[in-house]
Amino acid sequence: MAPQPTPAVRVQAEDFDLGREQALLTRGRRDIGALVSFLGLCRDEDGALEALELEHYPGMAEAEIRRVADEALERWPLQGLTVIHRFGRIQPGEQIVLVLAAARHRADAFAAAAFLMDFLKTRAPFWKKERRADGASGDWVSAKSEDEAAADRWR
């Protein structure tokens, strides 16, 4: 067995570049057969959202993502893993989260990326507050039971 790769985990206010992150993960590699990327974007469904304010728990956010990433590495033979999650003010259309999973074969890369997102949603300490376009103070986004169910299917 090849040694397990070290996941690249970043929690940051700044935006990120998907192409650059893919290049970093695959640079100089000849053994990767599949790279799955998931990009989560800030979504405005009814034209009423000005922005999301993403609050996070510094230190724990990184630690928890790293724990989930380590669990993914235990479950699937991966060649590389990158997780980036932003915090702060994010407007509709902007990027929030990136997961890159690289493996020899696509099934492992797909499964690991889905697993990471399901667990990030329920375990990584981030909270979204809506800022409304009409200036009214928005609400905290509430957690969805579908997200819990999505995470439970991996148990």
Nearer to another protein, 16 or 57 (CB): 57
CA distance 69 to 137: 35
Site for another protein in 1-30 (CB under 8 A): none
| Contact with another protein (CB under 8 A) among 54, 73, 81, 114 | 54
Applying CB under 8 A, which of residues 10, 71, 122, 133 lies at the interface with another protein? 122
Helix (H, G, I), strand (E, B) or coil at 98: strand
Q: Which residues contact 110 (CB under 8 A, 6 or more apart)?
A: 34, 36, 101
- Residues near another protein (CB under 8 A), total: 29
Whole-angstrom distance, CA of residue 37 vs CA of residue 39: 7
Minimum Å distance from CB 129 to another protein? 7
Rounded CA gap, 131 and 55, in Å?
A: 13
Interatomic CA distance for residues 102 and 2, integer angstroms: 14
Q: Between 13 and 23, whose beta carbon lies closer to another protein?
A: 13
At CA 141, angle to CA 146 and CA 21, rounded to 5? 80
Stretch that binds another protein, among 17-25, 59-67, 74-82, 106-114 (CB under 8 A): 59-67
Sole binder of another protein in the list 33, 140, 149, 154 (CB under 8 A): 140
Residues that bind another protein (CB under 8 A): 40, 54-57, 59-61, 63-64, 85, 96-97, 117, 120-129, 140-143, 147
